[in-house]
Amino acid sequence: MRWARIEVDGAAVHGIVEGDEVEVVTGDPFDGYERTGNRLPLDAVKLLVPVVPKTFYAAGLNYLEHVKEQAALRGTEPNIAERPEIGYRANNALIAHGEAIVIPADATDKVEYEGEIVAVIGKQAKHVAVADALDCVLGYTIGNDVSERNWQKSDRTMWRSKNTDTFKPMGPWIETDVDLDALETTVRLNGEEMIRFKTNHMLFGIEAYISAMSQYITLQAGDVIWMGTEGAARNLEDGDVVEVEIDGIGTLSNPVIREG
Amino acid sequence: MRWARIEVDGAAVHGIVEGDEVEVVTGDPFDGYERTGNRLPLDAVKLLVPVVPKTFYAAGLNYLEHVKEQAALRGTEPNIAERPEIGYRANNALIAHGEAIVIPADATDKVEYEGEIVAVIGKQAKHVAVADALDCVLGYTIGNDVSERNWQKSDRTMWRSKNTDTFKPMGPWIETDVDLDALETTVRLNGEEMIRFKTNHMLFGIEAYISAMSQYITLQAGDVIWMGTEGAARNLEDGDVVEVEIDGIGTLSNPVIREG
């Protein structure tokens, strides 16, 4: 099942995507819903961020080549995680599929994409075993962890390098039926393939993260966990269009604008 | 005006605290409200976290003596901030006034309190000048940034050192009428005063943080900014009661339980 969040008459509602239509529901995928029979053409509705999380988690450096690339960028030794330790991103930065990534005028040219799979928590969970961890996942969406690399290096926190408004595109929807091991992530810049990698080829998988997190943290319905990206990236420039596709989930596409 | 969030018949509602009563309102302090005339005795209602933020910001090291103490603990040079760079905490960790701080069984004995003033954003703000920054603040509440210092040192992120469930007491309510420069923060452990400091004696004040953040971030109504703490702290132990008082706002009091 494919869950979208859409704008209807100025309000945010949930809907089920079927083919090229979306059927509006009352309620939501977390606490229960009923179909309304109101079916809208998918290309005529405004897609919203598929969920606004209560807490926005991000695994960070979770693919080996990306860890090495980022270390090389800094001139440091790669710091390969020995255990799944989660990080955070900020809700202010979320934008939906189709909305513009706006690069501030004072950003350097080192603004990069990071294509990621996102696990969406479906129900409250604490002290979950690895074997049971995916039971609390409603489904999966796609994130683009846009990053200003010079700010990331110079600042004490990642507040503006990763959490500037519009730097966290997420969508287009939540897919509940996926075979994680079969997925491939592809990032395209202006239609040209930049990278393609096995989505589940992580240092620590989604199960490992959820289990570890849940020993100290109560995961809540609607929380999201961004799982990190692979490889190096190219700079984003004014007028670019960046797409992250995960086969079986969909394609998250966003134009890029530079201010000033 | 003093805004509480309380539980009435199992639902969260907002109310205005007047003397030893709280008057229930419809709506909320951010988008508008109406008084209902329903007045309840304050000591008979369950106080909730006064607001669940969309994004939970925290200034971190923002008082000089605390920066020096934390550096000494690590055996490093004090890293005194040169500009206001905001950090983050996580909503899962929030608890209300009166609720228990629960220390996990595997935590070390280095679990400490940090008494902080919290600015609550009242309306959306972007690109705000320092002189106008406090105009977007609804009021102020109190936070206790409970921290497991050994995890803070050993982990790549602050996920469990600062964001373990129950490690972020916030409350008891939001006070809209305060003179920041007149405030003193006092932390008491089992009734004994541990520290007393000028609340506004920060490296970077609330105005400076809001203005800097808003150059890249759209602040939203209900967002909270925890402003950091002063000095050293003592360990929290099973059976303790920790109180953070800011005169003119109120007292945030929480018992401490150690699991296992």
Please report the pLDDT score of residue B196 as a whole number. Answer: 96
Q: What ipTM is given for this predicted complex?
A: 0.94
Q: Find the mean pLDDT for residues B172-198.
A: 97
Please report the pLDDT score of residue A61 as a whole number. Answer: 85
Among A91, A92, A216, beta carbon nearest to B160: A216
Q: Find the mean pLDDT for residues A201-226.
A: 97
Q: pLDDT confidence of B14, banded at 50, 70, 90?
A: very high
Q: Find the mean pLDDT for residues A49-65.
A: 94
CA distances to B64, B79, B106, B179, B252 from B201, in Å: 9, 18, 35, 13, 20
The H-assigned helical ranges of chain B are 64-74, 149-154, 206-213
Contacts of A91 in chain B (CB under 8 A): 54-55
Give yes or no for A220 touching B (CB within 8 A).
Answer: yes
Residue A260 confidence (pLDDT) above 90:
no
Residue A73 confidence (pLDDT) above 90:
no
The per-residue pLDDT for range B90-127, each reduced to its tens digit, is: 999 999 999 999 999 999 999 999 999 999 999 999 99
- Selection from A74-78, A122-126, B62-66 with the highest mean pLDDT: A122-126
- Please report, in angstroms and rounded to a whole number, the separation of the first and last CA atoms in chain A: 42
Instruction: Please judge whether B92 and A218 are an interchain contact, meaning their C-beta atoms are less than 8 angstroms apart.
Output: yes
CA distances to A161, B40, B200, B220 from A153, in Å: 9, 52, 30, 27
- CA B181 – CA A213 distance, rounded (Å): 40
Residue A232 confidence (pLDDT) above 90:
no
Q: Across-strand partners of B3?
A: B16, B174
More confident residue, B190 or B76: B190
Instruction: Please judge whether A54 and B160 are an interchain contact, meaning their C-beta atoms are less than 8 angstroms apart.
Output: no
Please report the pLDDT score of residue B73 as a whole number. Answer: 79
pTM, rounded to two decimals: 0.96
The two structure tokens encoding residue B104: 């996990």
Q: Find the mean pLDDT for residues A179-199.
A: 97
Q: Which of B76, B153, B216 to mutate to test the interface with A (most CBs of A within 10 A)?
A: B216
Instruction: Please judge whether A159 and B216 are an interchain contact, meaning their C-beta atoms are less than 8 angstroms apart.
Output: yes
Q: Which of A80, A155, A159 to mutate to test the interface with B (most CBs of B within 10 A)?
A: A159
Q: What domains does chain B contain, in order, with CATH numbers?
A: 1-48 (2.30.30.370), 49-258 (3.90.850.10)
Instruction: Please judge whether B219 and A92 are an interchain contact, meaning their C-beta atoms are less than 8 angstroms apart.
Output: yes
Instruction: Please judge whether A92 and B159 are an interchain contact, meaning their C-beta atoms are less than 8 angstroms apart.
Output: no
Please report the pLDDT score of residue A66 as a whole number. Answer: 81
- CA A222 – CA A52 distance, rounded (Å): 7
B14 to chain A, minimum CA–CA distance in Å?
A: 20
